[in-house]
Amino acid sequence: MLDEIYRFILPYLPPQLRIAVAALPDSLLAQLEELRLKPEAPVLCRFRDNEAFLGMNGHCYQSCSEGKALLLTQADIQKTVLLLADSSIYAWEDELRRGYITLPGGHRAGLCGRAVLEQGHIRTLKDISSINIRIARPALDCALPLLPQLLDSQARPFSTLLVSPPRAGKTTLLRDIARLLSDGCTAAPCRVGIADERSELAAMRQGMPQLPVGLRTDVLDGCLKAEAMQLLLRSMSPDVLVTDEIGRAEDAVAIDDAAHAGVSVIASAHGYDEEDVSRRPVLAGLLSSGAFQRIVVLSRKKGPGTVERICVPDSKWGRWTYVSCAGSDYDCSKLCIGGAARSSQTATAPLPADGCGAGTSGIDA
């Protein structure tokens, strides 16, 4: 991870901030999740469990009142924007419209400033007033314990909906499921198509996925989900379609089409649990049409990606029932991204060519 920060984060920081971040002790750098930059304000570092203001010479301070924290100027912010955009704002217009620039390694710089509108829609951002650099930590193999529950008797993936409130690990889990299916880590390899409307799953940068999504995965990036799914279906003949945060009526139509055309759909949606999503008209329609055969409910109870339960449709009662986990060799409550990744932290062997079976630890920032 330190190597990632040196290679992919520091070159995008203005010189004095670059020096200050590089001077942080390795133990702190390893926990760094966010760097928040604003003009005429101290640099705020968010670590795994706390936050602090960045000073010079590798120090961090809980308070910025002592005047030791590093202050950035408007010029520093402008320099950072130029570094992030390779001095070419015009080349990142789509990204600016969406409010972030993806960096190599899948890290992401979120931007805020003055929105320039065109016919009521954001055309671009100017006068950037804050930058939030988020450090991505792919949790390889975090879906490995869960995946067998999502395969049918012929090892084909069930169409599955991952449900959780924000920041509970849906995207991380979804990405790892795509990678494991694509690389054939638990069954025969599948052709996977990712409809990545917000560039969060594969973190594409200049046509290259920056996060591991598997060898047989095709990514359609920055396009509306519904359109992307139809295009992937027509052009790439996927076995599995993966998409994040569904909720619009068009998404439901595209998913229904795909799920009834012999393609498994693995998607995520915001919601507290299966009952919560059933109350959303668009998702209720999808759930009742049989587009999904599994619902995985996630929470942050034991860390991001804690699997609360896996639900299956009960045709007799016309509702979703829990899969019984207790007592089996598979215990939902013990599953969380951190837990799964921690178990792979001890694996020191290099990744095999297909990327299965070993990995780095941690969770997405």
Partner 1 sequence: MGVEQGLLVLMREIEYLSIPLPMAMEHAALAAGNAALLFELAASTLQEGYGVSGEEAWLSALTQTAAWWQEEEKSALATAAPGLGSTDAASQSRRLELARQRVAGCEQLAKEREDKYGRIWRSMGWASGALLVLLLV
Q: Which is nearer to partner 1, 90 or 317 (CB)?
A: 90
Which of these ranges, 54-62, 75-83, 103-111, 243-251, lies near partner 1 under the rule CB under 8 A? Answer: 75-83
Q: Is 317 in the site for partner 1 (CB under 8 A)?
A: no
Among the listed residues 1, 41, 82, 312, the single contact to partner 1 using CB under 8 A: 82
CB of 97 to partner 1, least distance (A): 11
Residue 132 beta carbon to partner 1: minimum distance, rounded to whole angstroms: 18
Binding mask 114-143 for partner 1 (x = CB under 8 A): ---------xx-------------------
Cα dihedral 148, 151, 154, 158, rounded to 10, equals 180
* Contact in structure between 45 and 34 (CB atoms under 8 Å): yes
Does 102 sit near partner 1 (CB under 8 A)? no
Q: How far apart are CA 202 and CA 187, in angstroms?
A: 22
Element at 15 (helix H, strand E): helix 15-22
Considering only 4, 6, 8, 93, the residue that binds partner 1 (CB under 8 A) is: 93
Whether the CB-CB separation of 320 and 295 falls below 8 Å is answered with yes
What single letter denotes the amino acid at residue 25?
P
CB of 75 or CB of 155, closer to partner 1 = 75
Residues 6+ away with beta carbon under 8 Å from 358? 140, 141, 344, 347, 349, 350, 351, 352
Q: Is 78 in the site for partner 1 (CB under 8 A)?
A: yes
Which range touches partner 1 (CB under 8 A), out of 36-44, 60-68, 89-97, 340-348? 89-97
79 scored as a contact of partner 1 (CB under 8 A): yes
**Helix, strand, coil percent content, the chain, rounded in steps of 5:** 30, 30, 40
- Angle in degrees, CA 227, 298, 49, rounded to 5: 110
Binding flags for partner 1, 343-362, as an x/- string (CB under 8 A): --------------------
Q: Which has the closest alpha carbon to 49: 359, 363, 340?
A: 363
Q: Residue 103 or residue 242: which is nearer to partner 1 going by CB?
A: 103
Sign of CA dihedral 5, 206, 108, 354: negative
Selected binder of partner 1 within 11, 25, 148, 290 (CB under 8 A): 11
Q: Which residues bind partner 1 (CB under 8 A)?
A: 11, 14-15, 78-80, 82-83, 85-91, 93, 123-124
